[in-house]
Amino acid sequence: KSSWCLLPSGVPDVKLDPNTAEAKPDVCEDDTEPVMVRIKPCCCLQVLMDSLSSVSYRFRCPGPGAFQCTETGLVFVVAQEAELLYRTIQWDERLLQPGGKVAAGPLFSIQCPQDAVGQLHLPHCETKEALFSEGLLSVVHITGEGLSILEPLEITDTHVIVKVTHLSAFGLVKDLWNRFWNNTSPVSGQVLLFRKPLSEIQNLNVFLLPSNIPLKEVKVSEMFHQDSQNIVVPSKCRLIKGQSYRVDCQEACLIQPETEDFDLDFGPNYHPSFQIRLPINTTEVAVTVRDHENTEVWNSTDGDLITKSLWSSQHHSFDLFALTVCKKHVNVGRTGAPH
């Protein structure tokens, strides 16, 4: 079944009392109130299909705290009970160019009728080394009145944190000149594999994407347009924008294209970087991604490819047009603003 989990962000370490199942807070070094964390038995998150390949997410925050969606990586810090509705939308690069900015993550349209959100944490794909560059990342806030740049309160190894007063569209951007002078710096990337169910022709689609692209959105796009299923393999790697890559696969009948330049594609539509054609009786396949110097940047061997490809639509644990998923154990954090 599809798994969803909401985790507290920015809370101190806590230990559960086995007799009461309540958290015992660590003592803070300052005079602030200790933070209490309580585990709720169940919570529901809705995933809705707006169109053939557009996903939106809805979650009701049960009270004050910091809540993370593990599908998008977004973290919301709320001051009260609130309902959140969010989705990715298309960037308009023409809005960014006059300010010398380029997209550095998906553009999220976020709604919260209660205006309860005080902080927003957006996931980035920069490496730790790149974060030493001052002014590398900022957040764009797009409304009907135009575009404004929000300077981060903090940039962590994984997220950019900004203060928000009202919600509309938010997205990470990078300084164009900074990217120009650091054009050989890698970003944190991911390699995703998708394969159609058994047929006369077996195609394995290979995606090279930044790490802050939600897997759920690529999955939905592939299921609708290609009827393909995700093959779960370790996906982390480092990729360089504009650098040429190729794929090796000894079992392949055909690989196309021979090489492809990596681009920072932030959707909401995603297309395979490579397509590998396999013989019908393939039961094992090894895939390797190499750069222009023939250096291996990613590899994976999957010995159960056939079994996974037979996972048909009748076994899907979700309705593609209206999906409600419940997670039996959801951690809900009651906290103020994360440090």
Looking up residue 178, the CATH number of its domain turns out to be 2.60.220
Residues 63 and 162 in one domain: yes
Residue 269 falls within a domain, yes or no? Answer: yes
Looking up residue 209, the CATH number of its domain turns out to be 2.60.40.2660
Cα distances (angstroms) measured from residue 174 to each of 75, 125, 133, 199, 226:
20, 11, 11, 43, 33
Residues 254 and 117 in one domain: no
Residue 317 falls within a domain, yes or no? Answer: no
Residue 314 falls within a domain, yes or no? Answer: no
Residues 29 and 98 in one domain: yes
Residues 219 and 146 in one domain: no
CA distance 304 to 308: 6
Residues 76 and 196 in one domain: no
Single-letter code of the amino acid located at 146: G
Residue 155 falls within a domain, yes or no? Answer: yes
Residue 311 falls within a domain, yes or no? Answer: no
Residues 109 and 222 in one domain: no
Q: Which tens digit of pLDDT belongs to each residue from 158-216?
A: 999 999 988 999 999 998 876 666 677 899 999 999 987 766 678 899 999 999 999 98
CB-CB contact of 209 with 260 (8 Å): no
Residue 279 falls within a domain, yes or no? Answer: yes
Q: Which domain range does residue 225 map to?
A: 187-303
CA distance 152 to 177: 19
Residues 90 and 235 in one domain: no
CA distance 316 to 299: 28
Averaged pLDDT of the chain = 76
Q: Give how many domains the chain has, as a whole number.
A: 2
Q: Which tens digit of pLDDT belongs to each residue from 276-315?
A: 999 887 778 899 999 999 999 999 865 445 344 433 333 3
pLDDT band at 12 (very low <50, low <70, confident <90, very high): very low
Asked if the model's pLDDT at residue 225 lies above 90, the reply is: no
> Per-residue DSSP letters for 118-158?
EEEEEE--B-TTGGGSTT-EEEEEEETTEEEEEPPSEE-SS
